[in-house]
Structure formats: C-alpha cells, structure tokens
Structure 1
C-alpha cells in the first residue's frame, strides 16, 4: 500500500513540470536587450528617426513562421524590416524596426504596438513614443445625461499627454437626498485624443423631484472641467391615479352645474314694483286701491 502511494506521488511530481512545460507558449516576442523590458520606450523631437529591435524566441522543435503588423495612433510612423519571419527550432531571431517622427508631430506621448501572430496565437509589444516639446493637458466632460438609476457622461482627452482623471458627481434637488460621489482612477489612463463613455449608478434616486446633476473631472497636469444637466422625476403611476380621481370628481360637479343652468327662473310677485335706486330712496311695494 505504501509502495503504491509512493509510486503515485513520484508520478505526480514528475508530471507537474511536464504539465507546466506543456502550458508554456512555444514562442515569445519581446523587446531586444534590456532584460525583460515591459515595453519599448523611444523619445525624440519632430523629424527624428528612432530605431530598435524585437526578439522572437522559438522554443519548439519545429520551424516557426511569424507575421507582424503594427497598430495604434503612431502606427503610420512605424516601419518593420519585414512583416514575415521564419525562425529555426530552438532559436532566437531579431527583427529591426524604425519610427520616423513627422516634422509636424505634436509634442507628447504617442502609443503604438507591434503584434506577432503564429499558429492561431498573437502576442504584442507596446511602444511608448514621446515627442519632445511643450505638453498640453486638456480634459473635458461632455454628453451628461440621466437615464433611470444611472448617470452617463463622456470624458475626452483633448491634449497631447495621457491623463489619469478623477470624477466628482454632485446632485442638487428640492426633496430628494443629495448625491455626492467621488471616483478615482476611472479610467486609469486616458490617452491623447481618446473619448470614453462612463456610467455611474445612482442609488436611492428621488421619485419626485427636479434635480441638477453636476460632474467635475480633474487630472494632474490639466485644468478641471465641469458639466451639468437637469433631470425631472415624476411617479407616473401616482400622477395617473390622481388625474383619474380628479376626472371622476369633476363629472358629478359638471352635471350639477348643467342642472342648475337648465332649471326655469322663479316668477316675481305681481305686486312687486321696482323703485328707483339712489341715495335716500327705498324700494317699497304699492298697495292696490291707494
């Protein structure tokens, strides 16, 4: 029994490294040199040509063919030495690439990425390119709206540097409990020229009120931005019931007024004489035979 258990443990211990090796990718792509750089960082002024390399490692026992493509906002500035590379078994190969910064490029950060694909698998290497010159931080809040129990708005980075915004939402009404909510790091990073639409839940929103919703966005390196919208909440079921009760109460009153208008006028006594009215004059009835 002990021998069987020991054999099982030995088999499991031997199988664990094999399982981990089977789960590991057979190829990788990463920045060349630098010992595990998470991305490629490049910096230059407009008109500069910058160069770097990627390493593709084939750990399998078969040749590997990798296809490359680039994307993101600075993708048109990228030039790859080749878009197709065959790597022999258990070999690491390098692929050079360059970035030509246009003469009219705006100062600030311009992200890009190079994606490698082979055998149904893709892997990307990020490129963080910084163009020298004065940076401009500009953040705006736009398209604020209220729908049900949610507040929706858009954040737009109109500058040339990434921003990390913080949001403050405040509501002012007549009857309901005011809302004051602060959200940090949402989204964690807003790249230049990017727009994101966000939704915030509104717990315990009023059922009957007229409310102003104020949204204020701040980010280090950018002036704050504010936007406001108004929302009116009416309990439509209650309003419909009240309207129905008013209509029901108005019908008998209308019928009573119609009956009153339709009844004939009471005749006046035959001996009633109208005396002229004025100061000192008194209306009296004339006696017959006077």
Structure 2
C-alpha cells in the first residue's frame, strides 16, 4: 500500500490549522447566549414606615440587656380594595450575596423576632386607610452584647390554584438593636479559588477570576474594603483591585466573585485577598488575609513554541533533502 507524502513546507500549515480550529470551538462556547428570566406582577399595594418621627427610615435602638422600648409601625393601604395583613417581627439573615433577608413566618426567631410583641398581630385595611400598630421590644436580661438585626413585617398570604399554592407577600421595615457591652469587629475569609481565562493569544494577557467567602465573625455589623492581588513567580505581572464590601450582620456570610483584567499566565499564579474591616461606626477591626497558589498555563506561548519547533524541524528536513539531492 502506498501512503501520500507531505512536503516539508506543509507541516507548519497543519499546526496552524489545528490551533485555529480549537480557538474557534472555544469562542463558540463562550459566546453562547444565556436563558432569560421572567417576572410577575402584583395587584396589591401598601406601604410601611416607622411611626412617629417621619424622618426615620428604619427602627434603630441602643439598649441595655433587660431593657424595653415602645414604638409603632404604620401601614397604609394604597390599593383599591380592602385586605387583611399579619404584622410580626422576624430575625435577619443573609442571602448568598450578603443581602439582608428576614426569616419566613414558619421559621422560629431567637433574636429580634422573639423580643418584639405586636399589640395587633392582624389588621384589616379599607382602601386608603392607615393603621398605627404599637409594639414593644423587650431585650432579655441575659442577651449578649452586640448588634441584632431583623425587621417588622406586614404579610399578605395569597392562596392560588385552588388552595394548593401559598404565596407570602411581605413588606418590612428594618430593625437594628445594639445591646450595650463590648463590641468586636472581625471578618473571616475562606473558600478562596482563582483561575484565568484560556490564554490562546501568546501576545495578550487574559482576565483572572477570583471567588471567596466573607463571614462576619464578630458581634457587630461590619464592612470594609478588600484588595485582590494576582501575580506570577517573584511578583511578575502583578495585578491588583480594591473593592468596598457591603455591610454584613454578625454571623452573616457573602459569596464574592470578582475579576482582574490584564493577567499574564506565567505558569505559577499566586492570588491573595486582604481585608481591613471596620464597624458601621468606623471602629477598625483586625485585618484578614487569605492566599492560594495554582497553575496558570500559558497555552498561547506553548502553542507558539510548538509552531516554531515544528517549523524548524520541517525546514531542517527540507534542507537535508535538498543537500542529498545535490550530492553527485
């Protein structure tokens, strides 16, 4: 059997064609569209606010353990039909992004949600009517010092699909209670992971991606800037960005994802996150740092090197054959 032969100058073309095919496939995956998300409307309309002082946007108290505080919650029907609302307090929690949320009515509270007693737990409002709902905050005598976060809620439970589905529509006003005592500002960093984009172009840097988790390990609300650094061996190609973090309640966590442009994959990549936390009153805390190392493969440079080596081999073979033909 006879196989087709290839001349020396065809070798580099084969290498370049292979690299081009891989690059086109990767770009097609990266540019694939994401699915859209839909939202639904709501025909009910009401508003809530703290009672008394119209300048307040939330409830905020500084109290001693064992102390009590009396206040009120104003609810207004802005719609065209009457409805009933449940009024209650709930503890605050955080979503995966660190945003404040409130526990559902089916989950027991141990902080603010357990300390608040509402005078009228159920109210009925005619169109345009307003209710001023009194309540009392009673801090237990054995409450630990620090910040407690929750909210006072108005809730309308909508039963749909013949009673098989319940939708709890809630509107709340935030409540902050600081129990007197020693405050501790502390943030912990964990679950650090870093990666870089595919470095197909040997003459251009790539974006770097960093993900980690921030946890408020102190007993007061805290925030603070964090600095993300990516660098190659000996600090070569160092890239840095600093971002201000949102407030986190005690015990709350937030998953953070950020990116750095212009990262050169130089084989070995060191990623560091540093945070300087401070309380919402500006009191500084202890700095936190976390570091991880990993490979950042310069595929583009390897590909270019492979093309150069292949070209050199092909040229060498061609010259060798030419020299043999010239021999007598």
Please indicate the TM-score interval, normalised by the length of the shorter structure: 0.5 to 0.7
Which digits, 9 at most, give the CA deviation of each residue in 1:75-114, with x for residues without a partner?
2222222321123454432222222212332222211112
Partner of 2:285: 222
Q: Do the aligned residues in 1 keep the contact of 2:75 with 2:131 (CA within 8 Å)?
A: yes
Unmatched segments (≥5 aa) in structure 2: 1-42, 93-111, 159-168, 197-207, 279-283, 314-328
1:82 and 1:235, CA in 2 relative to 1: closer, same or farther beyond 3 A?
Answer: same
d(CA) in 1 for partners of 2:187, 2:152: 28
Deviations 1:151-203 (A, max 9, x none): 111111111111121011223323851112111x22x2111111111112132
Does the 8 Å contact 1:30/1:36 carry over to 2?
Answer: no
Aligned residue number for residue 239 of structure 2: 179
CA distance in 1, matches of 2:256, 2:219: 21
1:165 aligns with: 224
Question: In structure 2, do the counterparts of structure 1 residues 59 and 107 end up closer, same or farther at CA, with 3 Å as the change threshold?
Answer: same
Matches within 5 A, 1:138-287: 138-148=186-196, 149-174=208-233, 176-183=236-243, 185-186=244-245, 188-220=246-278, 221-235=284-298
What is aligned with 2:138? 100
Q: Which has the higher contact order (CA 8 A, sep 6+)?
A: 2
Q: Aligned in 2, Cα 1:91/1:239: closer, same or farther, shift over 3 Å?
A: closer
Count residues in correspondence: 221
CA distance in 1 between partners of 2:126 and 2:272 (Å): 61
Does the aligned pair in 1 maintain the 2:147–2:178 contact within 8 Å? yes
What stretches of structure 1 move > 6 A for 4+ residues in a row?
Answer: none
**1:45 corresponding residue in structure 2:** 64
Question: Is the CA contact 2:88–2:152 (under 8 Å) kept in the aligned structure 1?
Answer: yes
- Structure 1 CA distance, aligned partners of 2:237 and 2:300? 22
User: How big is the alpha-carbon RMSD for the aligned residues of Structure 1 and Structure 2?
Assistant: 3.0
Q: After superposition, what is the alpha-carbon deviation per residue over 1:28-48, rounded to whole angstroms, capped at 9, x for unaligned? A: 222111124201122211122
* 5+ residue gaps, structure 1: 1-23, 250-290
Distance 1:230 1:59, change over 3 A: closer
